[in-house]
Amino acid sequence: MLAFVAIAGPGLIAANAGNDAGGVLTYASAGAQFGYETLFLMLLVTVALVLVQEMCARLGAYTGEGLGALIREQFSLRASAGALLLLLVANAALTVSEFSGIGAAMELLGVSRYIAIPVALVVLWTLTVFGTYSKGERVALVLSFAFLAYPVAAFLAHPNVRLVARDLLTPQFTHSSAFLILAVALIGTTITPYMQFYVASAVVDKKIGPKQYPSERIDTINGAILSDVISMFIIIATAAAIGGTGPLTSAREAAQALVPAVGSAAPTLFGIGLLGASLLAAAVVPLSTAYAIAESAGAERSVSSSFRQAPLFFGLFTLQLVVGAAVALAPGNLVTRVVNMQVLNGLITPVILSFILILANRRSVLGDAANGRTFRIAATVCVVSVGALALAVVVLKLVGKA
């Protein structure tokens, strides 16, 4: 275990920093409800994530444009508007899950959600709009390092290694609507539409072009794999602690997974980690979404502007925060709400992936860097599979079986 941590440590730290409330609680829920049975699915999801993120990074590197701009240039205006509207809905759902995560974390630390969430809304909006949030983001990032306890806990819990290996390497699809819905949630929180837009834009922002792309590609692939390694540790640690007890209903239950690593401090540590991760994402997601949509529309998009100068940008940013906080404050189970928001993301994901796949297939966009035959087939299989799962959940919901 020590050797593993020593070798993969830095990468794991970086990958862990990518966890948000939706990710942590959905993976924990998977472990609690189905034990190790979702590990094989996570393996497949990792393959899909690698393919998708590689395409997004390649699009950014070879075109110098983000996905929002590319979609506008390559598709009809109505199709583009539809795609960006879906992105807004998906990211608003993510924002709901982040505020729900803030509420769940603070309740674990003894503060009511009805105080924590409104305060977080005001603080996040003020700090971001007035440009001082970057000072606080380091604090939030350090808080989220609490989740580094998951790999440690996963080992110290002494899970049934044979069972883990079996469920990791052989398909264990449970024939139930609950498994199907959780599968879509896992896809939605792992291959989230937000991350695809972010990956492309980050490559553009770093001014990575075709010449630098080969090394960036390795980073992208490594990042995707490592982030899913962390996700699997969350599933394993939770499964070892409370596997088979049914869906997760509280953050306190999820915290049980950290007991082997930190003992009675588990709830506090989990709460701190969840708070940090949720605070980070609750600012990043609405800000990036507002920027992507304003960029695609060609509108002003600067936090240095006033509301009057950049109404679309500020309007979208504020709308997402307010809607996110308002829905999170609605009565109901916060953890269930978080997982449901990931299901919504999972339903929207195949639509966004279709746009990405079409863009990456076009030689008019990528030239010789467009998808080759093998990659095209593999990526199409992924997108179609994700779409089929999403469609199945929609059908189940419509006939009232889910």
Partner 1 sequence: MTSHALGFALRRARRHTLSRRHVKPVEFEGKLLSVAGAVGSPVYSGSGERLGDLDDIVVRWDSGDEHPPLYGALVHAHRSLAFVPAAAIAAVLPDQLRLHGSLEPRAPERHPGLVALAHDVLDRQIVDVDGADVDRVSDLVLGRGPDGIRLVGADVSLRTLLRRLGPARMRRMVATERVYDWASVAAFSVHGAGEAGSVLKLTDAASHLRALDPTQIASLLDDLPPPERDQLSSHLAEDSEQ
Binding residues vs partner 1 (CB under 8 A) = 14, 17-18, 20, 63-65, 69, 72-73, 77-78, 80-81, 128, 131, 133-134, 137-138, 140-141, 198, 201-202, 204-205, 207, 209, 277, 280-281, 283-285, 287-288, 290-291, 296-305, 309, 312-313, 364-365, 367
Other beta carbons within 10 Å of 304: 9
Residue placing its CB nearer to partner 1 in the complex, 137 or 160: 137
Residue for token pair 């889910």: 402
| Distance in angstroms (rounded) separating the CA atoms of residues 391 and 184 | 10
Distance in Å, CB of 142 to partner 1, minimum: 9
Is residue 191 a contact partner of residue 52, using CB atoms and an 8 Å limit?
yes
Total count of residues recorded for the chain = 402
Distance in Å, CB of 281 to partner 1, minimum: 4
Distance in Å, CB of 40 to partner 1, minimum: 27
Residue placing its CB nearer to partner 1 in the complex, 78 or 401: 78
In terms of Cβ atoms closer than 10 Å to its own Cβ (0-12, 13-18, 19+), residue 3 is: exposed
| Distance in angstroms (rounded) separating the CA atoms of residues 71 and 85 | 12
Is residue 352 a contact partner of residue 199, using CB atoms and an 8 Å limit?
no
Distance in Å, CB of 390 to partner 1, minimum: 23
Residue placing its CB nearer to partner 1 in the complex, 367 or 372: 367
Distance in Å, CB of 51 to partner 1, minimum: 21
Residue placing its CB nearer to partner 1 in the complex, 157 or 208: 208
- For the chain, the first-to-last Cα distance in angstroms comes to 40
* CA 53 to centroid of chain Cα atoms: 13
Distance in Å, CB of 295 to partner 1, minimum: 8
Residue for token pair 């009565």: 331
Angle between helix axes 67-74 and 334-361 (nearest 10 degrees) is 50
Distance in Å, CB of 380 to partner 1, minimum: 22
Residue placing its CB nearer to partner 1 in the complex, 271 or 276: 276
Rg (CA), the chain: 20
Residue placing its CB nearer to partner 1 in the complex, 41 or 83: 83
| Distance in angstroms (rounded) separating the CA atoms of residues 258 and 254 | 8
For 168-171, the CB contacts below 8 A with 24+ separation are 168/36, 168/39, 168/40, 168/43, 168/232, 169/40, 169/43, 170/40, 171/40
What does the block give as tokens for 155?
A: 């080992």
Other beta carbons within 10 Å of 123: 15
Residue placing its CB nearer to partner 1 in the complex, 33 or 371: 371
Residue placing its CB nearer to partner 1 in the complex, 190 or 256: 190
Distance in Å, CB of 226 to partner 1, minimum: 12
